[in-house]
Each structure stands twice: as C-alpha cells, then as structure tokens.
A and B are shown apart, each in its own frame.
Chain A
Amino acid sequence: MSNRRIKVDYMTRVEGEGALTVRIKNGQVQDVKFRIFEPPRFFEAFLRGRDHREAPDITARICGICPIAYQMSAVHAMEDAFGVEVGGQLRALRRLIYCGEWIESHVLHIFMLHAPDFLGYPDVIAVSKDHPELVQKALQLKKAGNEIVALLGGREIHPVNVRVGGFYRTPSRRELDELAEKLKPARDIALDAVSWTASLPFPDVERDYEFVALSHPDEYPFCEGRLVSNKGLNIAIREYDAHFAEQHVAHSNALQSRNKDGGAYKVGPLARYNLNFDKLRPIARQAALEAGLKKDCRNPFMSIAVRAVETLHACDEALAIIEQYEPPEAPCVEYEVSAATGYGCTEAPRGICYHRYSVDNEGLIVDAQIVPPTSQNQPTIEADLEHVVRQFMNLPDDELTKRCEMTVRNYDPCISCATHFLKLNIIRD
C-alpha cells in the first residue's frame, strides 16, 4: 500500500504542457516536482533594443490566452517610466477590455477545461452531448467576452489597438451600445454559472495560503493598486523586486518566484477574492453569498466558483462602463520619452503579471523583466499537490491521480506563459 508507483504520461486541459512527479515512500510523500518543459522563448532577451512602443505587441505573444494582461502590464510600466497619467474614459476603456479578457479566459477554463473534471467527462465536447444547453450557454458567454476584446482590440488573440498612452482608436457610442445588447444576456448566464459552479462536489481541502493580489481603494483590481497579502504585505508595484525573487531550478524551464524569505505564495482568483471581496460589484457579491461561498475561501478546488463570481463581476462592470461612456477627444495621451525605469503589474485572469523595463533616451528598451502568474504559483502548486497526496493517500491510484490533475487545473496554469509538456508521475516506492 505505502510503496506504489503511479504514472500518468500526460496532463491535459491546461494551456501548454508540462510534467509532474510525486514520489511516495513508506506512505510518506518524498518529493513533489512540477516540471516545466516549455522551450525557452527568450522574450526578455529580444526585447532589448526594441522600441518601447513595440512592447505591448511583442509581449502579447507570450500568451494567446491572456494577451491583454501582457499588453496592459507593458503599457502601465512604460507610462510609469515616462510619468504618463491615463485617466477618464481611456482608463475606463482599459478596464473594459480587461473585463473582456477575464470573461473569455475564465469561461474557457471553467466550462471547457475544468468542469469536465467535476462532471467526469474527458472534454467539453463530451459534456455537450449530455448537457447541450449548459455548453451552448457557456459558449455564448465566452463569445461575449471575446466580442469585447475584438471590438476594443481589433481581434480576440493578440489585439492590435492597445498602446502606450491609451489606444490607437476609441470605439463609437453606437459600437458600444451594440456590445451592451450582447452583454446583458451574458450577465444572466454568468449569474447562473455562479450557483451552478458553487454546487459542484468539492474535495474537502483547506490550506493556509499567503494570498497576493493588487488592491485598489475603490475597485476590484485590474491594472492598478498596491500589492497586498493576507500576511501583511503592502507595497507599491515598484517595490516588487525587493520582496519577491525568481529562482532557477534544474527541473523546470520556468523560473519559480518566491518571497524573499523563501515562502510560496498564491496569486489568481482566490487571492483577489479573499483580499478584495468588498470591492466586487454588488450583484457578484450577493450571488457569491447566496451560492454559499464565504467571504473567506481557502479551498483551492473552489476556484472554479470564484472564477464564475469574477465573470459575473466583469459582465456587470463592463455594462456599467458602457453605460457612462462618452467618446474621449483623443484616443491617447501624448508623452515625452526619456531614459527611465518603469514598473507595471496587472491582474491576469490567473494572477498578477509583473513587468519592469528600463529604456534609454530614444525610448529603446535596455532591460526587461517579466514574471507571469504561473511562475509565481508554481511553488504553491507543488505544495498543494503534496498536501492533497498526503490527505488522500488511501484513494486508489487512478482516483488519486485524477485528484492531482484537478489540483493542478485549479490554477488554470498557463504553461505557455511558463511551461510546456506536463507529465504526471506518482511514484510510490
């Protein structure tokens, strides 16, 4: 019983591919390694010498799932460097496009990648055979998110309209009115999704995480705020490097981020939710409580329901932004270029995405650092796996393996941002 070897060759329904090894000896978890084999793509290297205006287009290519997060972190960092303030309707439009990304990415994960775990299907296509209406509604909701990104960004993947200082072109009142008509039914679907996801059978797991997320005085965080945690962290974005450090370990091509004191921390929906519950739109807050979610939620498997709450929040906020929209006079704020270092951090659907750039007097990048959310969650994913294996050691191998896969999927890990090729090996010897 205590010395078994379990091997799963491929972890599916995650973005990208990676590997996981769990070794159990004499009933004790010996070693957990979340392996990442994404071939290095060297973004931080080839950004050197590029124009600062190219950063949002280039860094979007790190990830097809959440390009807006990269674009927004990049433009905020450049604006920080040059002292540019983007306010009013341009700022609102940035929040709107971020709402679109949260909706499309969260719904992709909730229904197409994660829900099949809870329902016992291999994929969403199989789910659709038994629950066609559920899947049709999910696709409609996801499409609404994509339509926001497509209108404001030009296309869903690698949008072209985001630039330092604002946008290349702002939408007309009429274009947004048409969008609102599609968002209203989407908000209803999101509302149903909260109660549906909250009713799924969650394994009974609670962990004492250090949650790290942005916190803004008035809003549920997207692009701005201070970096806070439930363990006392409260810093400006530009202080990130003083508190977190990336480590390069032999078993992973993705750098692993930890606290300077070596502690693992958790970013993403659960962290945002726990640290910013009171800033959720009232409809989302109420739906969460009615569905039985507590304000304090430490069960990693309940992230699927928290994503639904955030999807509802994003639909509602998008509608509010559209309602008060007046086309601004100019699509972008003018600015002067000078040699400087700038810092940006925004809330990608799966957690904070940190960028730091130094630019020269001509606005060319001389140094870049980018820390995607999955790199930051990696040590916590390993710790979760260790916890789950220990807690459910007595399950048969196939069930324990499924539970491990779910544990990884709780993070909606974007392995392309950080990884490749996920192999799951549970070795009991």
Chain B
Amino acid sequence: MSDGKKPKLAVWKFASCDGCQLSLLDCEDELLAVAEAVQICYFPEATDTFVKGPYDVSLVEGSITTPHDAERIHGIRRSSKTLITIGACATAGGIQALRNFRDVKDFTRIVYASPEYIDTLGKSTPIADHVKVDFELRGCPINKSQLIEVIAAFLAGRKPNVPAYSVCMECKRRGTVCVMVAHGTACLGPVTQAGCGAICPAYDRGCYGCFGPKETPNTSSLAHWFGEHGKHNRELVRMFRSYNAYAEPFRAESEAHEQ
C-alpha cells in the first residue's frame, strides 16, 4: 500500500456457493469505484488477470473440506498481509458443516454411486481453524454494504464498523413489529448478529440465523422460550443447525436438544 501504488486485492474460493464473492460483482453502483481504488490481482470468477502476491488484502470465501484445501489455505495466508474471511462458510463452516454431526461416509454413499472417487474431510471447518484471520465478515450471504465498508476500512487502515449486536436492534430501527411478540413466530433474531438489515421479520417470518451468533448470545433462554411455545426438541435442533451450525453457541445449543 506504500509508494502511492494501489493496494493489491485477491479473492479466493473454497467450498461454497460463490454467493459472497458475487456480492462484490453485485455492487453495481460501487464496482467501478472499488476497481479504481485497488488493483484486482486475483479474482478468477471475474477476470483472467493473475498478478503474483504478496497481496495487501485477501478475501476468502468458503470452508475447508478437503485435504488439498487444508494445505492451500496456508499458502494464501503466507502471501496475504491482511486476510478477511467472507460469509458463513468461511467463518463457521457453512451449510456443509452439517456433515460434522454425522459420519461423512454415510453422506458420501447417499450422494455418490462410487464413493471411492470422493476425497473429502470428515468435517467442514472455518478458515480460522487453520490460519490466523484478521477479520471475519458474517452472513449467508454477506451484506454487500458491509463488504464495501470492510474493504474501505482496511484501505484506510481503520477498524471496520460492523456491529456485533443482535438482529433485534435492526428490527427496532426498521420499525418492524416483533414477530415473536405479535404473532408467536419463533425467531432467532435475539441471538443472531445484525448485518442483514432484519429482512426476515420485515417479510413476516422469523429470523433463521444466517449471520450466526451475536456477541454473548443467550441461546438457552431463547430455546426455553421456544419450548414453552410448543417447539419440540428436534425442531430446536434444526433451528440452531443450519447455515452457521458449527458456530460454537449454535452448535452447543443444538446438541443440548439432541436426544
């Protein structure tokens, strides 16, 4: 970033749906400005350009699910001054971490006719389980405004302004009537980190936790409330076990209700 040169940006993918890196291309109003501010050195979904590292900022999408990827992430870390993980896969193992609660051999047999062709790890793990991560941006998918904020913050050498409080705060700010209080709809908003803009309650449904646990979530209190309102244990397991199933507070709460 010194010498007046543009900072070098790289975008990497592991097991994922591509949605979080697509968020960058979905910044229709800001994309060209971002491209002006940085040198995009590696972003295979978008460009043939490949400029060797080291990179000032690496954005990493996806979780580690193969022996090859468990090696590859170390090289990326070594070539990156700042490494930012984007999305639930990279920060919590993603939806594919549902394998972590089962025997992956059973999963392989269900999906593939020739399981012997498949080389996969028993667990899907976040990037921070493998290398040091400088910042984790939550969401399934990430919020593109937050992505712009994070990139801008690192370019300016400041801390990103990304809140760790709950979705409830965003609901209040948006003026949405609480779906739990008004309709008895089970909602993970009280234990989920803000960032999406509290979309689900605004669309008349409960939050399903795609931004993962907020700072200091009281999941057991919320689960108790759900139980009093008729949710069975196996429903509670499913509620906490989705896109951030392997994030510690959600994992522990789901296991507490498993028979």
**A122 with B48, Cβ < 8 A, contacts A39-B65, A54-B238 known:** yes
Contact of B17 among A54, A61, A247, A249 (CB under 8 A): A61
Q: Mark B230-254, 1 if CB is under 8 A from A, else 0.
A: 0000010010001100000000000
Instruction: Tell me if A160 counts as interface (CB < 8 A to partner B).
Output: yes
Which of B18-26, B52-60, B161-169, B219-227 is the contact stretch?
B18-26
B138 → chain A closest CB, angstroms = 14
Instruction: Tell me if B118 counts as interface (CB < 8 A to partner A).
Output: yes
**Chain A, residue nearest B66 (CB):** A39
The total of interchain contacts (Cβ-Cβ below 8 angstroms) comes to 187
Instruction: Tell me if B76 counts as interface (CB < 8 A to partner A).
Output: no
Evaluate contact between A65 and B18: CB separation under 8 angstroms: yes
Evaluate contact between A13 and B40: CB separation under 8 angstroms: no
Instruction: Tell me if A14 counts as interface (CB < 8 A to partner B).
Output: yes
Instruction: Tell me if B82 counts as interface (CB < 8 A to partner A).
Output: no
B106 → chain A closest CB, angstroms = 7
Contact of A158 among B113, B140, B235 (CB under 8 A): B140
B164 → chain A closest CB, angstroms = 21
Within 8 A of B (CB), among A52-75: 54, 57-58, 61-65, 67
B20 → chain A closest CB, angstroms = 7
Instruction: Tell me if B137 counts as interface (CB < 8 A to partner A).
Output: no
By size class, the interface of chain B is: 35 or more
Question: Which chain B positions have C-beta within 8 A of A63?
Answer: 17-19
Evaluate contact between B18 and A15: CB separation under 8 angstroms: yes
Within 8 A of A (CB), among B51-106: 65-66, 69, 94-96, 98-99, 102, 104, 106
Evaluate contact between B17 and A62: CB separation under 8 angstroms: yes
Instruction: Tell me if B10 counts as interface (CB < 8 A to partner A).
Output: no
Evaluate contact between B140 and A61: CB separation under 8 angstroms: yes
Instruction: Tell me if B29 counts as interface (CB < 8 A to partner A).
Output: yes
Within 8 A of A (CB), among B179-227: 196, 199-200, 202-205, 208, 210
B72 → chain A closest CB, angstroms = 10
Evaluate contact between B32 and A125: CB separation under 8 angstroms: yes
CA of A13 to CA of B99, assembled, Å: 30
CA of A271 to CA of B118, assembled, Å: 32
Evaluate contact between A64 and B22: CB separation under 8 angstroms: yes
Evaluate contact between B22 and A65: CB separation under 8 angstroms: yes
Evaluate contact between B141 and A157: CB separation under 8 angstroms: yes
| A48, A160, A250, most chain B CB atoms within 10 A | A160
| B18, B25, B210, most chain A CB atoms within 10 A | B18
Question: Which chain A positions have C-beta within 8 A of B49?
Answer: 122-123
B235 → chain A closest CB, angstroms = 8
Which of A134-142, A215-223, A294-302, A344-352 is the contact stretch?
A134-142
Evaluate contact between B18 and A64: CB separation under 8 angstroms: yes
Contact of A10 among B19, B28, B40, B44 (CB under 8 A): B44
B13 → chain A closest CB, angstroms = 7
Instruction: Tell me if A168 counts as interface (CB < 8 A to partner B).
Output: yes
CA of A158 to CA of B144, assembled, Å: 13
CA of A38 to CA of B31, assembled, Å: 27
Evaluate contact between B32 and A16: CB separation under 8 angstroms: no
CA of A416 to CA of B49, assembled, Å: 21
Instruction: Tell me if A390 counts as interface (CB < 8 A to partner B).
Output: no
CA of A327 to CA of B15, assembled, Å: 40
Question: Which chain A positions have C-beta within 8 A of B210?
Answer: 158
Question: Which chain B positions have C-beta within 8 A of A41?
Answer: 15, 65, 95-96
CA of A288 to CA of B106, assembled, Å: 50
Question: Which chain B positions have C-beta within 8 A of A316?
Answer: none
Contact of B44 among A17, A65, A124 (CB under 8 A): A17
Evaluate contact between A39 and B203: CB separation under 8 angstroms: no
Question: Which chain B positions have C-beta within 8 A of A155?
Answer: 141, 196, 199
| A11, A15, A43, A64, most chain B CB atoms within 10 A | A64
CA of A155 to CA of B199, assembled, Å: 8
Question: Which chain B positions have C-beta within 8 A of A158?
Answer: 19, 140-141, 210
Contact of A168 among B47, B96, B205 (CB under 8 A): B205
Question: Which chain A positions have C-beta within 8 A of B65?
Answer: 39-41
Q: Mark B106-127, 1 if CB is under 8 A from A, else 0.
A: 1110111110011010000000
CA of A295 to CA of B25, assembled, Å: 33
B226 → chain A closest CB, angstroms = 15
Evaluate contact between B205 and A124: CB separation under 8 angstroms: no
Question: Which chain B positions have C-beta within 8 A of A125?
Answer: 31-32, 35, 40, 46-47
Question: Which chain A positions have C-beta within 8 A of B48?
Answer: 12-13, 116, 122-123
Contact of B45 among A15, A38, A157, A161 (CB under 8 A): A15
B244 → chain A closest CB, angstroms = 12
Instruction: Tell me if A46 counts as interface (CB < 8 A to partner B).
Output: yes
A355 → chain B closest CB, angstroms = 14
Question: Which chain B positions have C-beta within 8 A of A50?
Answer: 238
Evaluate contact between B28 and A139: CB separation under 8 angstroms: yes
**Chain A, residue nearest B109 (CB):** A45
Evaluate contact between A154 and B199: CB separation under 8 angstroms: yes
CA of A414 to CA of B13, assembled, Å: 14
Instruction: Tell me if A146 counts as interface (CB < 8 A to partner B).
Output: yes
Evaluate contact between B28 and A160: CB separation under 8 angstroms: no
| B26, B112, B113, most chain A CB atoms within 10 A | B26
Instruction: Tell me if A389 counts as interface (CB < 8 A to partner B).
Output: no
Listed from nearest, the 7 A-B pairs whose CB atoms lie closest are A64-B19, A123-B47, A45-B107, A122-B48, A46-B98, A143-B28, A154-B199
7 contacts between A and B (CB under 8 A): A39-B15, A46-B99, A58-B95, A156-B26, A158-B140, A169-B203, A249-B117
- B residues engaging A (CB < 8 A)? 13-20, 22-23, 25-26, 28-29, 31-32, 35, 40, 44-50, 65-66, 69, 94-96, 98-99, 102, 104, 106-108, 110-114, 117-118, 120, 140-141, 196, 199-200, 202-205, 208, 210, 235, 238, 242-243
- A residues engaging B (CB < 8 A)? 10-17, 38-46, 48, 50-51, 54, 57-58, 61-65, 67, 104, 108, 112-113, 116, 122-126, 128, 135, 139-140, 142-143, 146, 154-158, 160-161, 163, 168-169, 246-250, 253, 255, 331, 414, 416, 420
Inter-chain pairs besides A12-B47, A51-B238, 9 sampled, C-beta below 8 Å? A40-B120, A45-B99, A54-B242, A57-B208, A61-B243, A140-B28, A158-B140, A246-B113, A248-B114
